[in-house]
């Protein structure tokens, strides 16, 4: 090993050691740190990094500061590059928060430079944005998560997705909506909205030009919405508004379909073979509600889109069509079984809780 | 081959540090505030519905047996130590995480679905990939 390489490896190790010794022995500081922002540097035009991507995610959480409506930089397609679109979005952000930024930064107009003052406001907004979706489930065992035995010892097996997620993040909550169930409902039926940041008594639910005020949420995570009988038989986008904010304009619109003939969403029941090798060519997925075409699978390792089912009960999926499959192959992990989480979406709706497929590496 | 052995040495030495922290009396007293993890980033998935990123580690060390899977980076709750290369493929990460918290949601038509992970990263330091 060359002297240069040895030194670089030693520097990596020293960072690692310092990190762990610091984290392990100063809980108060670590806890304090966990509530701070990831913006540890100023950001400007031309910068690259995941903090730039985080900046874009925060800017995209507000329609007024969205980087772009579609394509690169748009919600879900954030990049690590601080380009002109990001610059313009930061300027809009600074103008929106001029009272908090201009005087503190000593500027009279927006500059697009993300300095201390802008970072401070971003931190507040970041805290609100990040409060969404923190959903603890049944705590996993702290025992070793996998073994090299033939026994199925799933990476994710200790996790239970049963029950409504709950929010525990000790940060300011922003109202967040992630599903409406059932996805298909008859007129005069009831839709249950799931999310977080719901008020105990005063939530206004909007859909189809209608606003139903003062809907309660006993747990802060679900709202039952009774539907009027005169709703048009079509899909309706729904959003929630309360003192915490609104879900209107979310990059992930939530909708339900009003129909006289509602059907259940697709559901995966089993996979053949029951224990899949990562080197398997094709697996057969069995379930209900599969469409003749247009079945889309969302998995831990990538998506498989527009698959067909001739009988409505089975679908063949080529494992190597999952874009990240090759990246988890590692000779050092041979024999370990992981869970490949899988949800199906088609014209009948979406399987909300993913199905774990055991895969042996 | 030299690279392999040098990386192995890094992992081994790092695990010693992890073990000393995990099994120290101080760490046991803090167990409720976070568990130790270490791993090498394979790829990142954007949580399009919940303003977070799911980072897949191969391998991922949570105990004495390597595994592989997602940890979630949540900007406001994850504290970063140098070298700030979180989620960069090829970067080693060492830190603490909160187990059994699902914070990654993916956008699908008309709804969002959860992308299961081991938990949310509380704090992490990283190596700088590509240093030779």
Under a CB-based contact definition with an 8 Å cutoff, are residues A134 and B74 in contact? yes
pLDDT for residue A311: 93
Spell out which residues of chain B touch residue A22, defining contact as CB-CB under 8 Å: 81
Chains A, B: CB contacts within 8 A come to 296
Among the partner residues B46, B66, B100, nearest to A140 by beta-carbon distance: B100
* C-alpha span between A139 and A312 (Å, rounded): 36
pLDDT for residue A143: 28
* Beta-sheet strands, E only, within chain A: 135-136, 176-181, 184-185, 190-196, 203-207, 210-215, 222-226, 235-242, 245-246, 254-258, 267-272, 276-277, 282-288, 295-299, 302-307, 314-318, 337-346, 349-350, 355-360
Query: Checking DSSP bridges between strand B101-102 and strand A135-136, what pairing results, if any?
Result: antiparallel
pLDDT for residue A25: 35
Q: Is B111–A136 a contact, with Cβ atoms under 8 angstroms apart?
A: no
Residue closest to B74 by CA, chosen among B11, B123, B3, B27 = B123
* C-alpha span between A312 and A292 (Å, rounded): 6
pLDDT for residue A319: 92
* Nearest chain A residue (CA) to B107: A252
CA diameter of chain A: 77
Mean pLDDT taken over chain A: 77
Q: Is A341–B116 a contact, with Cβ atoms under 8 angstroms apart?
A: yes
Residue ranges of alpha helices (H) inside chain B are: 2-22, 25-29
* C-alpha span between A337 and A329 (Å, rounded): 12
* C-alpha span between B66 and B95 (Å, rounded): 15
Among residues 74-93 of chain A, which lie with CB inside 8 Å of chain B? 75-78
Measured on CA atoms in the order A262, A263, A264, A266, is the torsion positive or negative?
A: negative
User: Is pLDDT of B74 > 60?
Assistant: yes
* C-alpha span between A178 and B113 (Å, rounded): 8
Spell out which residues of chain B touch residue A343, defining contact as CB-CB under 8 Å: 108, 113
Read off the pLDDT of residues A153-197 as tens digits, 9 standing for 90 and up. 223 222 333 222 222 332 334 888 999 999 999 999 999 999 988
* C-alpha span between A97 and A94 (Å, rounded): 5
For residue A169, give Cα distances in angstroms to A31, A35, A129, A321, B72.
Answer: 13, 10, 11, 36, 14
Spell out which residues of chain B touch residue A15, defining contact as CB-CB under 8 Å: 81-83, 125-127
Higher pLDDT, B55 or B6: B55
Residue ranges of alpha helices (H) inside chain A are: 3-25, 27-34, 50-60, 84-96, 98-105, 116-130
% of residues, chain A, pLDDT over 70: 75
Read off the pLDDT of residues A27-80 as tens digits, 9 standing for 90 and up. 322 233 333 335 667 788 777 777 788 788 888 888 888 888 888 888 877 887
Residue closest to B115 by CA, chosen among A256, A133, A78 = A133
**Does the beta carbon of A131 lie under 8 angstroms from any beta carbon of chain B?**
yes
Under a CB-based contact definition with an 8 Å cutoff, are residues A262 and A231 in contact? no
* C-alpha span between B32 and A264 (Å, rounded): 40
- With residues binned 3-state (H G I as helix, E B as strand, rest as coil), the percentages for chain B, rounded to 5, are 20, 45, 35
ipTM of the complex model: 0.75
Phi, psi of A97 (to 5 degrees): -115, 35
Stretch A286-306: mean pLDDT: 95
**Cβ atoms < 10 Å from Cβ of A24:** 21
Among the partner residues B65, B108, B110, nearest to A298 by beta-carbon distance: B108
**Does the beta carbon of B16 lie under 8 angstroms from any beta carbon of chain A?**
no
**Does the beta carbon of B68 lie under 8 angstroms from any beta carbon of chain A?**
yes
């Amino acid at each position: 090993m060359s002297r240069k390489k040895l030194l670089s490896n030693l520097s990596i190790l020293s960072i690692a050691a310092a990190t762990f010794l610091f984290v392990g022995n100063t809980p108060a500081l670590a806890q304090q740190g966990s509530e701070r922002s990831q913006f540890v540097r100023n950001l400007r035009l031309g910068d690259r990094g995941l903090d730039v991507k985080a900046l874009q995610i925060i800017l995209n959480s507000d329609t007024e500061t969205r980087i772009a409506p579609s394509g690169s930089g748009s919600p879900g397609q954030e990049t690590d590059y601080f380009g002109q679109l990001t610059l313009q979005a930061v300027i809009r952000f600074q103008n929106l928060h001029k009272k908090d930024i201009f005087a503190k930064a000593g500027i009279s107009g927006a500059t697009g430079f993300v300095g201390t003052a802008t970072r401070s406001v971003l931190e507040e907004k970041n805290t609100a944005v990040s409060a969404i979706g923190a959903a603890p489930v049944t705590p996993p065992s702290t025992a070793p998560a996998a073994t090299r035995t033939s026994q199925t010892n799933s990476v994710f097996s200790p996790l239970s997705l049963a029950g409504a997620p709950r929010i525990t993040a000790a940060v300011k909550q922003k109202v967040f909506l992630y599903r409406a169930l059932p996805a298909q409902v008859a007129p005069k039926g009831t839709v249950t909205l799931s999310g977080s940041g719901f008020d105990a008594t005063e939530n206004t639910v909007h859909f189809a030009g209608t606003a139903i005020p003062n809907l309660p949420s006993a747990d802060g995570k679900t709202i039952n919405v009774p539907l009027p009988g005169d709703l048009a038989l079509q899909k309706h986008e729904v959003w929630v508004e309360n003192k915490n904010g609104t879900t209107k304009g979310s990059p992930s619109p939530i909708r339900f379909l009003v129909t006289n003939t509602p059907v259940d969403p697709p559901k995966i029941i089993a996979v053949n073979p029951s224990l899949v090798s990562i080197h398997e060519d094709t697996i057969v997925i069995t379930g209900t509600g599969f469409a003749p075409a247009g079945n889309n699978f969302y998995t831990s390792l990538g998506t498989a889109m527009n698959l067909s089912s001739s009988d409505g009960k089975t679908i063949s999926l080529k494992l190597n069509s999952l874009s990240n499959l090759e990246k988890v192959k590692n000779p050092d992990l041979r024999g370990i079984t992981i869970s490949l989480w899988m949800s199906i979406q088609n014209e009948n709706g979406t399987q909300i809780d993913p199905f774990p497929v055991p895969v042996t590496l | 081959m030299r690279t392999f052995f040098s990386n192995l040495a890094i992992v081994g030495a790092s695990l010693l540090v992890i073990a000393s922290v995990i099994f120290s009396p101080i760490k046991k007293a803090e167990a409720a505030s976070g568990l130790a993890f270490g791993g090498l980033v394979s790829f990142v998935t954007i949580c399009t519905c919940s303003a977070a990123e799911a980072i897949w580690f191969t391998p991922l060390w949570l105990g004495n047996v390597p595994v592989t899977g997602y940890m979630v980076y949540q900007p406001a709750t994850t504290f970063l130590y140098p070298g700030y290369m979180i989620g960069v493929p090829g970067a080693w990460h060492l830190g603490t995480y909160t187990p059994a918290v699902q914070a990654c949601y993916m956008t699908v038509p008309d709804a969002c679905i959860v992308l299961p992970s081991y938990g949310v990263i509380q704090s992490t330091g990283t190596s700088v990939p590509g240093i030779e």
